[in-house]
């Protein structure tokens, strides 16, 4: 989506205890991958629980434009009939990924292994994000990027490889998007494509490739890393994918329940893959009450029901090596830290600067305008909290308007802050929330939150 029209602000105010049981929408990472692998497989893929947010819908459109049949068969239920590995058709018009770095970068990988040319584009946020990190390995595999403006930003043209070559690639930063792009291109290359990462990033692509029939192995590399090897030219076969609830979306009601006094909520089917749950680890270290039950799994992805109760939080130091497993959760962790006793220090945040916005700066400014004492470093953030105890809530906190910079997670994080602050918190634009969590307002209202147009 390209954000057009006037911005619509939202305001969150202190509310009574949150309560109830909810299921947040399907996981965004898994939803993108299910559509892409479904499109690269032979036969039919059925997906249930797909996230129907704008980011994922743009990926669905791009798969159609590349020749797959993609249909919605019911609420959150989708059917994909794929073209087979290497079988994409040349799209007739540019592929628009809106706000989604994941959709854009993963599809670049999938296109790179096919002898087609596609133009990639997105909104102002995506046009400002680095693409060289994806193009570098894809060019080593035989693809060619042309007409790139400003050193690898969108819009750009990608010419897929006629004869893709397998490579061994060490990712320069811990990024599941880079890893996945190389693996998806490697599907069409003869021989073994290997990706080595110094810090393990989310492994949904590996797990789902296996589920669709690819031969893929992942072994430890160094203290925190992985070496992933994919055998090229598999016959991927259509599969059934059940998408668990997104832990990155669950993070918002979870932190809200922790900081709004006397709250007690339950979240169903939350994915608990350990490469995604760094936030839960950190919150528990801070004293959060988050209980897991009904632990189960599907297609290699574990999930559980979570019960979250309002808790007295204390500041902690979050180590840099935990960053890949909670990379999207720092904005809402910073909000939790604003209500904790003492200082929370978050290290290893350099990647936050190149997300949907410069999240490190956006979070620091948002905290400051709402009365939180914090220090923004080059790659770290320190937040000194003001716990409310049983007295007035978030004493002195709130009262500011936060600039969201086309970033859904900045918008939702600061709305959570408003629910427990003494004064309301306003965010300047609600539009981007629909990219990952279209049900956010209704779901939060159902739990008792007060979030309205000011």
Q: Which value, in Å, is the radius of gyration of the alpha carbons in the chain?
A: 21
Q: Residue 291: exposed, middle, or buried by beta-carbon count in 10 A (0-12, 13-18, 19+)?
A: exposed
Beta carbons of 419 and 256 less than 8 angstroms apart: yes
Q: What element of type H or E holds 414?
A: helix 408-419
Least distance to ligand S3P, CB of residue 102, Å: 4
> 210: which 2 tokens?
């296996």
- Stretch near ligand S3P under the rule CB under 6 A, chosen from 171-179, 210-218, 226-234, 412-420: 171-179
Least distance to ligand S3P, CB of residue 291, Å: 26
Separation between Cα atoms, residue 449 and residue 444, nearest integer Å: 5
Which residue in 328, 358, 379, 407 is the catalytic one? 328
Under the binding rule (CB under 6 A), the answer on residue 358 touching ligand S3P is: no
The CA-CA-CA angle for residues 289, 290, 294, to 5°, reads 145
Separation between Cα atoms, residue 46 and residue 26, nearest integer Å: 14
Under the binding rule (CB under 6 A), the answer on residue 357 touching ligand S3P is: no
Beta carbons of 121 and 97 less than 8 angstroms apart: yes
Q: What element of type H or E holds 117?
A: strand 117-121
Under the binding rule (CB under 6 A), the answer on residue 175 touching ligand S3P is: yes
Under the binding rule (CB under 6 A), the answer on residue 176 touching ligand S3P is: yes
Between 32 and 384, whose beta carbon lies closer to ligand S3P?
32
Under the binding rule (CB under 6 A), the answer on residue 263 touching ligand S3P is: no
Among residues 54, 269, 328, 429, the one that binds ligand S3P under rule CB under 6 A: 328
Among residues 58, 62, 102, 404, the one that binds ligand S3P under rule CB under 6 A: 102
Q: What element of type H or E holds 225?
A: strand 225-231
Least distance to ligand S3P, CB of residue 355, Å: 6
Least distance to ligand S3P, CB of residue 14, Å: 30
Under the binding rule (CB under 6 A), the answer on residue 29 touching ligand S3P is: yes
Under the binding rule (CB under 6 A), the answer on residue 125 touching ligand S3P is: no
Q: Which residues contact 150 (CB under 8 A, 6 or more apart)?
A: none
Least distance to ligand S3P, CB of residue 299, Å: 16
- Stretch near ligand S3P under the rule CB under 6 A, chosen from 10-18, 174-182, 271-279, 299-307: 174-182
Closest to 14 in 3D by CA, of 403, 400, 410, 394: 394
Tell whether omega for the bond before 155 is within 30 degrees of 0, i.e. cis: yes
Least distance to ligand S3P, CB of residue 21, Å: 26
Phi-psi group of 97: left, alpha or beta (phi > 0 → left; psi -120 to 50 → alpha; rest → beta): alpha
Q: Is-catalytic flag, 328?
A: yes
- Stretch near ligand S3P under the rule CB under 6 A, chosen from 117-125, 173-181, 294-302, 338-346: 173-181
> Whose CB is nearest to ligand S3P?
29
DSSP designation for 89? P
Between 209 and 419, whose beta carbon lies closer to ligand S3P?
209
The contact set with ligand S3P (CB under 6 A) reads: 29, 102, 175-177, 180, 201-202, 327-328, 351
Among all residues, which ones are annotated catalytic? 328
């Amino acid at each position: 989506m390209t954000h057009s029209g006037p911005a619509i602000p939202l305001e969150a105010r202190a509310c009574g205890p949150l309560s109830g049981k909810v299921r947040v929408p399907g996981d965004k990472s898994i939803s993108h991958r299910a559509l892409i692998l479904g499109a690269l497989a032979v036969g039919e893929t059925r997906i249930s629980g797909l996230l129907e947010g704008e980011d994922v819908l743009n990926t669905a459109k791009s798969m159609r434009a590349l020749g797959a049949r993609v249909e919605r068969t019911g609420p959150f239920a989708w059917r994909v009939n794929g073209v087979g590995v290497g079988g994409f058709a040349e799209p007739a018009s540019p592929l628009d990924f809106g706000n989604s770095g994941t959709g854009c970068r993963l599809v670049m990988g999938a296109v790179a292994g096919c002898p087609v040319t596609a133009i990639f584009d997105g909104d102002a946020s995506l046009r400002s994000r680095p693409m060289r990190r994806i193009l570098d390995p894809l060019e080593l595999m035989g693809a060619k990027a042309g007409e790139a403006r400003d050193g690898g930003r969108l819009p750009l043209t990608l010419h897929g490889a006629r004869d893709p070559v397998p490579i061994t690639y060490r990712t320069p930063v811990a990024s599941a998007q880079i890893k996945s792009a190389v693996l998806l291109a490697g599907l069409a290359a003869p021989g073994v494509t290997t990706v080595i990462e110094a810090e393990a990033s989310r492994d949904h692509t590996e797990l789902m490739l296996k589920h669709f029939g690819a031969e893929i192995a992942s072994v430890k590399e160094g203290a925190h890393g992985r070496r992933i090897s994919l055998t090229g030219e598999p016959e991927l076969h259509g599969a059934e994918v059940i998408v668990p609830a997104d832990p990155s979306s669950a993070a918002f009601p979870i932190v809200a329940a922790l900081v709004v006094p006397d709250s007690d909520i339950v979240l169903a089917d939350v994915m608990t893959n350990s490469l995604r749950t760094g936030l839960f680890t950190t919150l528990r270290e801070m004293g959060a009450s988050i209980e897991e039950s009904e632990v189960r799994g599907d297609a290699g992805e574990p999930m559980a029901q979570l019960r979250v109760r309002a808790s007295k939080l204390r500041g902690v130091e979050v180590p840099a090596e935990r960053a890949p497993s909670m990379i999207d959760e720092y904005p809402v962790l910073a909000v939790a830290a604003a209500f904790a006793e003492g200082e929370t220090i978050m290290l290893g945040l350099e990647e936050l600067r190149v997300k949907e916005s410069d999240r490190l700066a956006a979070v620091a400014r948002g905290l400051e305008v709402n009365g939180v004492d914090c220090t923004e470093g080059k790659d770290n953030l320190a937040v000194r909290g003001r716990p409310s105890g049983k007295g007035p809530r978030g004493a002195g906190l709130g009262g500011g308007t936060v600039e969201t910079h086309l970033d859904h997670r900045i918008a939702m994080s600061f709305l959570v802050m408003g629910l427990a602050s003494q004064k309301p918190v306003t965010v300047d634009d609600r539009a981007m929330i629909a990219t990952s969590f279209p049900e956010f307002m209704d779901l939060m209202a159902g739990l008792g939150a007060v979030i309205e147009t000011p």
